Amino acid sequence: MTRMDAKPNIPTYTTSLSEDRILDATERVFRGEGYDACTIRRIARDLDCAVGSIYRYFTDKRQLLLAVTQRIFAPVIEVIDSGGSITHSARMYHDLASASPQMYRLMFWLVCPPPEKLNQIAPPADATVAGNLSTQAVGAATATTSLPDFVDSLIAGWARRASDEQAARRCWAVLHGAIICGLNAQITVDAIDRLMTGPTTPQVQVALATPPKAAAATAQPHDPVTPAGAKQPRTSGTPTHTVAGSDDITLL
């Protein structure tokens, strides 16, 4: 055979690709080698396929990893869709997130807007009035934040079960915060159950969330009763002025 007759050294790939196989390989590479090493080229080598073949299913590494992280929590949505309870799905969510903490945190990082987008939307100059965010400021903040599709689906499912979207969002916030802080799963689920079945006023929620000992430690003693005609003791050389119509605000 002459040199002209020799076949070019073109790699041949016999792997039959599917979205699930790509996700399996991505998760395998990520868990074994970390985020930086988890490139499309490295995943293609693991699958013994051409790099371009992966791009037929996913546009980039970010979209691929987001699909991997959200796939872990698919059983939670199945529980809700099949009529499972909020507490059951919350416990499963907690267990899955605690078993894959890196994947869980990565999922939220992947949906964060890039810095240039965050800089484009800023709260207006008069965003605060008496220390409270104005409607415009809240709208600007909302425009720059987003949740993974899985979380949106979970909240929507809980809202259908409870007929209260705000309650569903509060429960997810408690669940997410507990996971990030490493709190016990059962304590977290019990707190969510109280939120969904108990009173929903802010005062009651704070009382439920505050341990009895902590509440006692932070309680302020009652003001002593001053006899008639006695002078009030002065605790500071700085005069105080109370705002008319308010018993709680003191300006120094």
| Pick from 16-25, 127-136, 226-235: least confident | 127-136
pLDDT at 115: 72
pTM of the model: 0.65
Domain boundaries, the chain: 12-61, 72-115+143-210
Confidence of residue 120 (pLDDT cuts 50, 70, 90): low
Q: What is the pLDDT of residue 137?
A: 41
pLDDT at 38 over 70: yes
On the question of pLDDT at 6 being above 90, the answer is: no
Q: Could you give the percent of the chain with pLDDT greater than 90?
A: 56
Fold of 12-61: Arc Repressor Mutant, subunit A (1.10.10)
Q: What whole-number distance in Å separates Cα of residue 56 and Cα of residue 93? A: 31
pLDDT at 239: 47
Strands (E), the chain: 128-129, 132-133, 241-242, 250-251
Q: Per-residue pLDDT tens for 160-178?
A: 999 999 999 999 999 999 9
